[in-house]
């Protein structure tokens, strides 16, 4: 373990600002002397002690609760002391400073030059408490990330899914796959070590069957992880189209609020307007953009800049709602401009053709609209008819569906690791199908798949990745 992770640490563990209750948390070896100096008594493990928190003169800074959790039965696996006081920011800073002050005081008051009460106590880095929980085997890496995801959850579904991940809903199937690959690797490498036995490994050990079963389980897990990533990251959707097609009206209808200004004047929207909505618990980040037209048709420089930003938003989107104005379908200039926009949309973009203003046209116009190979929806942003179909379509193109056992939260790095593991497992299956076995190559593919799975739970995670993950946590967690 790195030396800086052996230092005792302290931080304010509650959110910044005023609150009814605030907490200062300390973690490290042997915190009883520190606790005794702060609360005037030796704390009993896992009991709440109500009383004063004392300053250097023995006067109370505040009255509150102190809880002491001795190692290894604590969140971090070390001794943990929690001081719960009134949640004023000044008081929290006073308690934090008092902890650091007491730590530097002599352990024995009669020996001024003796060892300090809590040597090396320092302010915690972001995520350091959870990092220590991971390093002390209280949580694996996927569970540690779920702690941050639970705090950051933007929807009820995301919060419940993060709680499932914290409980091991992702870690358990990954570990089971991990263990299955270990067994298979042992058999393959044992065969490599003892070729003189002339054992038909692939048949007698059912290597192909084992590989097939592992591949099926991995595919199921990857699909479930994709659903979890959608809950965490959401879907970014850009509304694009010509001026006055009803883009801002559609944003307002989806959001259920007047977020964007709507007028009959072309070019009213000059810049991006964004709002996050929920569809069956999935966060959908909807972006309204400036109306698209050729630069020479823009009324001024501001509108040209807005159009440029619209194209950038389209390039970054997960999906594009290409809005068409049903009231102008018969106008050659409008049809040509729509075609030009369609040609410029990114080739790989998932798009939905949205025919707006259905309330303003008759059935003949609706029947005459173009029949797209891509998904299309007819609606009225003004009356909101057709909005439910649009919501369902967005979930379909995102690949969202219900998971029988419930969704767990997942991150993009989990998906990448699972895809890498799947690729190497497929290579292993191809090698296992060869007549000569190619056992040395098969063993290598199994090892690479095994390592990719290990990166999810932290068995084979580089230190620089750990630093990046935990640096994104809040201080005190």
Are 429 and 215 in contact by the 8 Å Cβ rule? The answer is yes
Does 359 show up as a binding residue in the annotation? Answer: yes
Does 264 show up as a binding residue in the annotation? Answer: yes
Are 143 and 469 in contact by the 8 Å Cβ rule? The answer is no
Does 406 show up as a binding residue in the annotation? Answer: no
Does 247 show up as a binding residue in the annotation? Answer: yes
Q: How many angstroms separate the Cα of 446 from the Cα of each of 52, 157, 454, 459? A: 59, 35, 12, 16
Q: Could you tell me which residues are beta bridge partners of residue 9?
A: 27, 122
Does 265 show up as a binding residue in the annotation? Answer: yes
For the chain, what is the largest distance between any 2 Cα atoms, rounded to a whole number of angstroms?
97
Residue 239, C-beta contacts closer than 8 angstroms, at least 6 positions apart:
247, 250, 251, 286, 287, 288, 289, 321, 323
Does 268 show up as a binding residue in the annotation? Answer: yes
Q: What is the CA radius of gyration of the chain?
A: 30
Does 263 show up as a binding residue in the annotation? Answer: yes
Does 266 show up as a binding residue in the annotation? Answer: yes
Does 380 show up as a binding residue in the annotation? Answer: yes
Does 236 show up as a binding residue in the annotation? Answer: no
Annotate 139-178 with b (16+ C-beta within 10 A) or e (fewer).
bbbbbbbbbbbbeebebebbbbbbbbbbebbbbebbbebb
SS3 category, 322: strand
In this structure, what token pair is assigned to residue 345? 């949309």
Are 136 and 422 in contact by the 8 Å Cβ rule? The answer is no
Does 357 show up as a binding residue in the annotation? Answer: yes
Does 171 show up as a binding residue in the annotation? Answer: no
Sign of CA dihedral 218, 224, 227, 231: negative
Sign of CA dihedral 436, 437, 439, 445: positive
- ω into 46 cis (within 30 of 0): no
Residue 458, C-beta contacts closer than 8 angstroms, at least 6 positions apart:
134, 140, 141, 142, 144, 466
Does 267 show up as a binding residue in the annotation? Answer: yes
Does 244 show up as a binding residue in the annotation? Answer: yes
- Total Cβ atoms within 10 A of residue 16: 11
Does 32 show up as a binding residue in the annotation? Answer: no
Binding site for GTP: which residues? 244-249, 263-269, 288-291, 356-359, 380-382
Binding site for Mg(2+): which residues? 248, 269
Binding site for (6S)-5-formyl-5,6,7,8-tetrahydrofolate: which residues? 25, 82, 138, 477
Binding site for K(+): which residues? 244, 263, 265, 268
Binding site: which residues? 25, 82, 138, 244-249, 263-269, 288-291, 356-359, 380-382, 477
């Amino acid at each position: 373990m790195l030396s800086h992770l052996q230092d005792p640490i302290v931080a304010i563990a509650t959110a910044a600002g005023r609150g009814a209750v605030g907490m200062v948390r300390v973690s490290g070896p042997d915190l009883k002397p520190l606790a005794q100096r702060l609360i005037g008594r030796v704390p009993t493990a896992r009991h709440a002690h109500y009383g004063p928190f004392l300053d250097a003169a023995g006067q109370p800074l505040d009255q509150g609760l102190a809880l002491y959790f001795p190692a290894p039965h604590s969140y971090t696996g070390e001794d943990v002391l929690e001081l719960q006081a009134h949640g004023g920011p000044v008081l929290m800073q006073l308690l934090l400073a008092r902890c650091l002050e007491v730590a530097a005081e002599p352990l024995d008051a009669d020996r001024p030059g003796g060892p300090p009460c809590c040597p090396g106590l320092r302010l915690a880095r972001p995520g350091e408490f959870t990092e220590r929980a991971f390093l002390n085997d209280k949580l694996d890496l996927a569970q540690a990330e779920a702690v941050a995801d639970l705090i950051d959850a933007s929807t009820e579904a995301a919060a419940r899914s993060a709680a499932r991940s914290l409980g091991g809903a992702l870690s358990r199937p990954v570990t089971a796959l991990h263990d299955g690959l270990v067994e298979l690797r042992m058999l393959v490498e044992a065969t490599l070590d003892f070729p003189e036995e002339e054992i038909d490994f692939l048949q007698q050990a059912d290597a192909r069957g084992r590989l097939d079963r592992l591949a099926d389980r991995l595919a199921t897990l990857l699909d479930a992880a994709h659903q979890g990533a959608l809950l965490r990251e959401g879907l970014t959707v850009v509304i694009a189209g010509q001026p006055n097609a009803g883009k801002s009206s559609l944003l307002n209808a989806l959001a259920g609020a007047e977020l964007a200004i709507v007028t009959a004047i072309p070019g009213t929207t000059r810049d991006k307007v964004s709002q996050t909505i929920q569809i069956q618990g999935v966060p959908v980040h909807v972006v309204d953009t400036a109306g698209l037209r050729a630069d020479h048709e823009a009324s001024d420089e501001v509108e040209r800049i807005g159009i440029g930003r619209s194209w950038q938003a389209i390039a970054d989107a997960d999906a594009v709602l290409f809005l068409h104005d049903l009231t102008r379908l018969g106008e050659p200039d409008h049809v040509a401009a729509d075609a030009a926009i369609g040609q410029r949309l990114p080739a790989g973009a998932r798009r939905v053709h949205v025919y707006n203003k259905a309330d303003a046209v008759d059935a003949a116009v609706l029947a005459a609209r173009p029949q797209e190979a891509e998904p299309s929806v007819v609606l009225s942003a003004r009356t909101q008819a057709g909005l439910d179909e649009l919501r369902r379509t967005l979930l379909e193109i995102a690949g969202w569906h219900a998971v029988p056992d419930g969704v767990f939260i997942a991150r993009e790095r989990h998906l990448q690791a699972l895809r890498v593991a799947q690729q190497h497992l497929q290579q292993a299956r191809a090698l296992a199908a060869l007549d000569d076995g190619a056992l040395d190559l098969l063993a290598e593919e199994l090892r690479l798949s095994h390592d990719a799975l290990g990166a999810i739970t932290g068995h084979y995670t580089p230190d620089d990745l750990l630093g990046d993950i935990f640096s994104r946590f809040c201080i005190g967690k």
